[in-house]
Amino acid sequence: MKRILFLSFYFRPDLCAGSFRNSPLLDELSKQTKNDNIYIEVYTTVPNRYSSFKQDYKRVEEFDNVRIERIEIPPHQSGMMDQALSFKSYFFETLKKTKNKKYNLVYGSSSRFFTSYLAYRIAKRNNCPLYVDVRDIFSETIGDVVQNPLMNNTLIPLITSLENKVYSYATHINLISEGFKDSFQKFTNTSFSYFTHGVDPIFTKDITQITPSDTFKKDTILYAGNVGKGQGLHNIVPDAAKELEGSHNFEIIGDGGAMDSLRNALIKRNIKNVLIKAPLKRTNLIEEYRKADILFIHINNFEIFKKVLPSKIFELAVIGKPILAGVDGYAKTFLRKHVPHAFLFKPGDVSGLIEQIRNIDNSNTTEMDKNISNFLEKYNRRKIDTEIAESIIKILESQPHRA
């Protein structure tokens, strides 16, 4: 029997991109391997993405050829130090639980870079192939977001060194954004793919296409997702809301490490047209999307974020409503090419946001249904998961030796 170790810090029922990507991927991998004498072990964490969202879960779950174990970690508020402590528990507990086990392939998903490093440690211990799914470049992200001279001189060189070890050893690297290409050119001893995010089936069921008269003349701008430094909502929503007072309302559904900064900025400016709600299950979120008039996405103005491709884009693109997008770099290029009903402005640019709202009011939806159909066909999550699973199995069957 061949054994695959599958590592993802976040997994269902957690509400985040890592969970949404890796949970259906595991199901597809199981579907393709359950009759082939292949066994898959998953080590993840108990639900922990948002302290304000609680969900029932099983510590150990088994089905077909899969065993999932969820590891208890200390609670955190999405701050850097408490997240580090939480990950430390996951890292060392997983090392311990896998110590005397043999694997034929290790899969690690990262924007949490140390999940990739954990996967590398176990793969190297087993002298087996390592398949890494890269959703973020941690050394570049942390340098942009934290901007601490001591960290720049000590921690970032260490992280870069560890990244080099992981990617130099990896048998295969999938880059979720083609914006990452330049950062990986030096790793020539591995193969690459570019399987991106996809549209989950939940967002293709019962989505009612909205007519122009229902869509473009109302006032609710909805953001749903993580509220962290990476999104930078605290840098734009208060000022934009003040400018739009009396004509538009913002609705924020989510939580995260920058939520206090956002709340404090709203209170300081006495903003009354921003409503904040706790995170919702995605089945409930669809109803909120239906009720909203404009869907909002924003990425903070950091250099590294010019390379990323947010998973939220794939969720919003098929709802059938205009998207107000504060993005730059590769995400901007992607939206221009594939999502014509996205109205783009530079991150943090309040004037640009206001201008694009006017453009939304004056636009039409003649081609929207066709655009959405084309997008769904190209970026269907099930199709992408099928291709990723096939690529993992191909690496497993080839069994290359890595020194």
For residue 82, pLDDT beyond 80: no
Cα–Cα dist 377/199, whole Å? 9
Pick from 150, 86, 174, 136: which is nearest to 307 by CA? 136
> In 10 A of CB 305, how many CB atoms?
25
Give me the pLDDT at residue 218, please. 61
Task: Check: CB of residue 383 under 8 Å from CB of residue 314.
Answer: no
pLDDT tens digits, 306-344: 999 999 999 999 998 999 999 999 999 999 999 999 999
For residue 50, pLDDT beyond 90: no
What is the reported pTM? 0.91
Residue environment code for 87-108, b if the CB has 16+ CB neighbours within 10 A, otherwise e: beebbebbeeebeeeebbbbbb
In terms of average pLDDT, the best of 85-89, 157-161, 222-226 is 222-226
* Domain 2-198+380-398 shares a fold with domain 201-378: yes
The sheet with strand 105-110 has its strands ordered as 60-63, 66-71, 38-45, 2-7, 105-110, 130-134, 172-175, 191-193
pLDDT tens digits, 4-24: 999 999 999 998 889 999 999
Cα–Cα dist 150/64, whole Å? 49
Give me the pLDDT at residue 80, please. 63
How confident is the prediction for the chain on average, in pLDDT? 90
Cβ neighbours of residue 351 under 8 Å, at least 6 residues apart? none
Task: Check: CB of residue 349 under 8 Å from CB of residue 326.
Answer: yes
**CATH architecture for segment(s) 2-198+380-398:** 3-Layer(aba) Sandwich (3.40)
Domain at 201-378, CATH homologous superfamily:
Glycogen Phosphorylase B; (3.40.50.2000)
For residue 403, pLDDT beyond 70: no
Q: Where are the domains of the chain?
A: 2-198+380-398, 201-378
Give me the pLDDT at residue 63, please. 97
| Mean pLDDT lowest among 175-179, 182-186, 215-219, 269-273 | 215-219
pLDDT tens digits, 256-296: 999 999 999 999 999 999 999 999 988 899 999 989 999 99
